[in-house]
Amino acid sequence: MSEKVKVLVVDDESGILDTLQILFRSEGYDVAVANSGRAALTALEEERPDLVLSDIRMPGSGGLDVLSRVREIDPELPVILMTAQASLSSAIRAVNEGAFHYIQKPFGNDELLAICRRAVEARQLKVENRRLKKEIRRRDRTASGRPVGRSRPFTDVLELAETVAPTDSTVLISGESGTGKEVVARYIHRLSDRADRPFLSINCGALPESLLESELFGHVKGSFTGAVKDKDGLLVAAEGGTFFLDEIGEMSPATQVKLLRAIQEREVIPVGATQAVPVDVRIIAATNRDLEEELRKGTFRTDLYYRLNVIQLRLPPLRDRREDVDLLARHFLERLAERGGGLPRELSEEALEALRHYDWPGNVRELENALERAVVLAPEGMLEHGSLPDRVRERPEVRLVDEGPPPNPTMEIIERAYIRWVLDAEGGNKTRAAEVLGIDPSTLYRKLNRYGLAE
């Protein structure tokens, strides 16, 4: 066989163990042995065999106990039971409880090896089928539910999201308000092995601290005024699925401590309770704040930040992915048409030009709202320039000289412009640019990615 298959042989007779060990090794198997049912239970955890061959009658834990434990650890691991005292009832019981085969001692070597080969092939077929089905589901979900966008800054983020989706790693999504952080979180969930389990979310900035804690961890009856019965928290309700913590930067320090414990220990203690409740959820968090700045201020816990920031996805603002505006506009118009039961509306070229040149401070969410407004105000025909909001239509006039004071740019705009200016001055050499800026090259690369300046 091309890859060694490990078989665990369990029997309380040392002579049979020695004989079967020699037989299986001569056929190219890797062999582990156990001289009792109790020893077999330990070996199952340590050896991780591909096949179990066990005597059914042994002192203490017998073959059926081994079979029961195998069903808990790996339902697809084949178990072949042996006995010198065969009976129809014991054979029926063994098969009903999930044994692959039941063989009576003494048996021929060829007969045993043929049964073992069939068992291994059946297991390999199940594993391959499961892998193929998972891949098909992944491709289907990717094709049908991929967030809209083809710009390089956005597709780089999506490709990273698709890479980490099948894992259970915690993900931190950062980006300005309206960039689609929850859309990406749901996309990760759809591509994960948890896709058939719940996706639940909460906005950490939308609730007062006491209510947020109760919603996250649950509470017991009488723990506070109004707690008239026990209530599971959302982390428990999302069991087996994904829990999305939006605007995690708004969470109070006290609640941060309890969330950190829940993530580390994989359990929650409801408000007013003394017993912990185990939870199995994947955490995805999102923020529009600069959490590294919040760490320096002391408003966000360092240990929680590093627990959340296993994989970081930085969503670019819409002004840095203008080539996606047309695609997004078409997507939103199609969705509005589906909702209204009609055909998708078309935008005039003048209207499209206005959409392309606007900076979209509210990002994708603002674009969607602007198009919905246009459809409502112009229920028929092509959507013209005049149906767009004033702020989108009226491109600001660029003046070289102005009598009034210049508008104050944000620190982000100033930093982005200065980094670009230094890079240009240094001929694109990032190491020299970092020296001029007085920052580490790693910090510069992070800022280049954040501002969409990375090549």
**Residue 154: its pLDDT value, please?**
95
CATH code at 146-316: 3.40.50.300
Query: Where along the chain do the CATH 3.40.50.2300 domains lie?
Result: 6-127
Range 6-127 has CATH code 3.90.79.10 = no
Within the chain, all domains assigned CATH 1.10.8.60 are found at: 319-393
Helices 349-357 and 325-340, axial angle in degrees (round to 10): 120
Region(s) of the chain under CATH 1.10.10.60? 411-450
- Residue limits of CATH 3.40.50.300 in the chain: 146-316
What CATH code is assigned to 319-393? 1.10.8.60
Q: Residue 8: its pLDDT value, please?
A: 94
Over the chain (455 residues), the average pLDDT of each successive run of 10 is 81 91 92 90 88 88 86 88 72 78 88 92 84 64 74 94 94 95 95 94 90 90 78 92 95 93 93 89 95 92 95 95 94 89 87 93 94 88 90 68 58 80 82 83 78 70
Task: Quote the pLDDT of residue 403.
Answer: 55
pLDDT at 133: 66
Domain spanning 411-450: CATH 3.40.50.300: no
Task: Provide the pLDDT for residue 141.
Answer: 52
**Cis? peptide before 106, omega within 30° of 0:** yes
pLDDT of residue 272: 86
In the prediction, which pLDDT does 405 show? 57
